[in-house]
Chain A
Amino acid sequence: MTLWLLVRRSLRQHLLSTVVTALSLALAGGLLMSVWVVKRQARATFTGQTGAWDAVLGARGAKLQLVLNALFHLEASAGNVPFADYQLVASNRAVALAIPIAVGDNYLGYRIVGTLTNLFTDAEAAPGRRFRLRDGGRWFEDGYREAVVGSFVAQRLGLKPGDTFKPYHGLNFNPKEQHDDEYVVTGVLEPSNTPADRVLWIPLAGLQNMSGHAAATATDVSAVLVKLRSPLAGQQLDLLYNKQGDRLTLAWPLGAVLAQLFDKMGWFDQVLELVACLVALVAAGSVLASIYNSLSARRRDLAILRALGARRVTVFASIVLEAASVAALGMVLAWGFYAVILMAVAAVIRAQTGVVLDPWAWDPVLILAPLALVALGALAGVLPAFKAYGNPVAENLAPQS
């Protein structure tokens, strides 16, 4: 009771420095947890998006670019794949399913992807989950100027079945590059929390034959999404396309290809972690400084406590507990910072990639980081506690006669 009373009153007496120090620790804690969770969730979620497919076949080029283009609808296409190559891989006995996609147009900045309806009917949006349409919609029909719109695009652009739009040429929006072709929205996808939500889907032939597109490549596709019958089939195709062939690239296995992305971004994670750790150290330093500086004003109070019979260790413990309490208060606020930061980051990642992070998902770091920072705060209290421990009693009581 005594220790808590001492700590509570001391914190109240130095309310401003308590709040400022707790806030700086909260920011450090929030940053640490956010960096860690975003890194872990992003890796897991991005990798999970590929689960419905085993490989991507595309023009000769970088595998990572191919995967980002075909599965995440980011980056430009490395080139085209002749339709005959699509037919060849689709007919390969090692392949369970092959779906071609074509890119090259956008609508108000959102990518338009041409494909076949069996992308929605035969393939999965994510492992164990099928694409579903919202009530009142239907899949587009190949050969018609119809479109199925991802949920995110529909929400942002206010598109619904029956609405029409005219695509723009290129992957980036340029108002001067509008095509004449007009498409009718036939359905809106239920949110799949995948990059498919950020896309306007039209028939493959529609994109290939869009007014203004080159007639010579009208039958080419941008990439082929491939579902294999077995892992061994991947080795067989890898040999065929990557080692023996020199025209096309097979991105396989997708997990390993995507790992390259995170390896490339590894330095960025490290910078963020370093910044968070530095903020934590600075915050711990501010705990130390604020308590250390307050000791000058509290020397008499400490001497009075000792004169009343408080032992040195009691005084020492009260200072360490005070530092830990400031840190604990900061950590309560840190969860708030974490939620705000993660919701903002999740919104940005969703808008840019369609990948959805869950700010409320459990992660051990949500307990471990606060515990570590409370321990760091307590550690920061040790130096001032030693100063208080050695505070001479008689000298700091009333002036001697």
Chain B
Amino acid sequence: MALLEIENLLKTYRTPDGRRLTVVDVPKFQLEAGEQVALSGPSGTGKTTFLNLIAGILTADSGQVRLDGRDLSALSEPERDRQRASVVGYIFQTFNLLQGFTCLENVLLGMSFGPGVDHGRARGLLERVGLGDRLDYFPRQLSTGQQQRVAVARALANRPKLVLADEPTGNLDPGHASQAMDLIRGLCSEQGSALLLVSHDPSVLGRFARCESLARLNRATRMEGEP
């Protein structure tokens, strides 16, 4: 059984003028355990909404998201929260670090909602991403690249089965972007976590053996006449 199975996933929003706008309409998508897949797509193709649906942050209007054998639509909100904390690691484009907390606390907080706090592992992860000497630094005291590495450490802290990465190199220069991709893919491989990454950067997408176009996958974004 695949780690992630999506069937007929539909998400719509109501626009200010009262119309329903379909943002995600994905008939089928699968991801195997440990697999690393990239989804390409320019802005407006519903990338973040798609990832939020998989993470259980948003709920679909219809269709199924089966993650680790559990249908998210059948779970209550607290169950989805628990599932997200223990099965999913999320790397955001803007990192979304908590500014009032140190690097170590950001990682520990990620753990605290999941299987449990493990100070040793949190320190080890931060050392692994090269921030062993920055444990007590606050995000504002770090460079953009360092903040990104904290976000990676936090996403992997609970040994998630699936890591979602939303434009993880979007705020980095090409040199740091390359390093960040090596780090993310390397850590996911080490832990056996599957990786689903969305990006519009060809240099990032070119690293993946499996790369799909979200514009093709998501019927909601297909232009008239596209197959």
Contact = CB atoms under 8 A, between A and B. Distances in A.
B158 to A, nearest CB: 8
B47 A401 contact: yes
Interface string A1-17: 11001000110110000
Contact of B55 (A307, A310, A312, A401): A307
A394 B57 contact: yes
Interface string B46-90: 111100100101100000000000000000011001101110001
A392 to B, nearest CB: 9
Contact of B96 (A1, A304, A313): A304
Contact of A9 (B77, B97, B101, B166): B101
B113 A394 contact: no
Contacts of A2: 109, 112-113
B62 to A, nearest CB: 18
A400 interface: yes
B114 A307 contact: no
Interface string A291-332: 000000000110011111111111000000000000000000
B40 interface: no
Interface in A349-401: 393-394, 397-398, 400-401
B12 to A, nearest CB: 14
Given A5-B105, A13-B100, A307-B90, A312 B77 contact: yes
Interface residues of A, number: 26
Nearest to A9: B100
Contacts of A301: 98-100
A42 B117 CA distance: 55
Contacts of B96: 300, 304, 307, 397-398
Interface in A54-100: none
Nearest to B154: A308
B93 interface: yes
A394 to B, nearest CB: 5
B44 interface: yes
Contacts of B77: 311-312
Nearest to B44: A401
B15 interface: no
A382 B57 CA distance: 24
A286 B132 CA distance: 42
B156 to A, nearest CB: 13
Given A307-B84, A308-B84, A308-B154, 15 more contacts: A2-B112, A9-B100, A9-B101, A12-B100, A307-B55, A307-B57, A307-B90, A309-B110, A311-B77, A314-B113, A394-B48, A394-B49, A398-B92, A398-B94, A400-B48
